[in-house]
Amino acid sequence: MARPSQANMVGRRTLLTAGAAAGLLPFTGPFIIKARGEEPIKIGVDNPLTGIYTALGKNEQAGMELARDQINAKGGILGRPIELVIEDSTSDKTDVAVQKARKLIQADKVNFLVGNVNSSSAIAIAQVAGELKTLHIVPGGHADAVTGANCHWTTFRICDTGAMQGAAMAKPLVEKMGKKFYYIAQDYAFGRALQAGLEKAAAKLGAVNVGTEFFPLGTTDYSAILIKARAANPDVIIDLAAGDDGINSIKQAVQFGLDKQVKIAGMQQELEVVEGLPPEARIGTWLFEWYWNQPNVPHVADFVAAIRKKTNKVPTARTWFGYAAIWTCALVANQEKTLDAIKLARGLEGMKLPPEVALMPGEVFYRKEDHQLVPAVFVGHLQAKGTIDPEDLFVVDQVIKGPEFMPPASETGCKLDYPA
């Protein structure tokens, strides 16, 4: 995927105004824009456009832009058009993400805040949003603490937690791979959350941890890590890396022939990573939080067609994260008929996403107790190339609905303290 030049992206804001609607879906409404010159509703986006998470951030942005176009074609938010005000948080600089969040809220006067791919940045941005009483949607930062120990009344999250993924994935991995796990993961909130979630869930099924190696973001040479993992004689090496780290770690494992000696698998996998792998490295059993090939689910084909028209590629889970985040802002504001953050947060508690936004089987809703979205997940295996569609690189073996794997809200550590 093409990477944006830093000269164009870093340190400046891109203001994306409403464009022509693409692939419109039959949402309820409309909410008529009565005055086209009226002040727009601003949604601030604080997400990576440079660094190891560039592809993830750009795909989330593509979903956001489609949602913006569709919402504006249906009348906007409270009869006013919406604009996306986008800042590059970078992939690994939490202080930059915080600075951008304050700028978006205090200088740009955004009405909503969306971000971040990086879990540590998502947690820090949530702190700013809580302080400044701005409704905040986390599309793709997975660390449990976002809707757990560090939860805020202002923050809602779309992607899964490590505990959620661990509960969903432990049984398929134990049944297919064995019980001796060696974990490799990125050394920050995201990687540690995934590792802890799977280790806890797998232990209940008799699995044992024979070793764990955390490595820095942006690692390029995995030889020492992989040699150490192989020496522990596991049944399976659990690779929990994301973004470019996921590409490099899996590719090197196959180059070293480890896939012929030990099974390689994991939890969260993303189409951006799979597309970056050579065909021979598209191996293993994984969990996708959303997948585009859902032939029996209404509205998914429309969404896929709209994104393909926009980007010439199929949507990824990240595309859906961004799409659902912007639609969440519009749905709750139009439902509650206000931009007041407290009323919006209360209105989102328990809200079900309509099928046109949920785009997956079953009911998809925000849990009241911790503001975590309860979705379905897709468990399956990679394939070197698609048999009918060349972009179909994941075979869904099992769909698991949220209530089957969601840990109780009482176990998250979340305590939501609303202002008096």
Q: How far apart are CA 362 and CA 236, in angstroms?
A: 32
| Confidence label for 16 from pLDDT (cuts 50, 70 and 90) | very low
Judge whether residue 3 has pLDDT over 60. Answer: no
The encoded tokens of residue 231 equal: 């020496």
Please tell me the predicted confidence (pLDDT) of residue 420: 84
Q: How far apart are CA 172 and CA 163, in angstroms?
A: 15
Please state, rounded to an integer, the average pLDDT across all residues of the chain.
92
| Confidence label for 38 from pLDDT (cuts 50, 70 and 90) | confident
Domain 6-160+296-374 carries which CATH code? Answer: 3.40.50.2300
Judge whether residue 385 has pLDDT over 50. Answer: yes
CATH 3.40.50.2300 maps onto the chain at 6-160+296-374, 163-288+377-405
- Which pTM was predicted? 0.90
Residue 19 or 418, more confident: 418
Taking a C-beta distance cutoff of 8 angstroms, is the pair 52, 91 a contact? Answer: yes
pLDDT tens digits for range 133-153: 999 999 999 999 999 999 999
Which CATH topology does 163-288+377-405 take?
Rossmann fold (3.40.50)
Please tell me the predicted confidence (pLDDT) of residue 37: 56
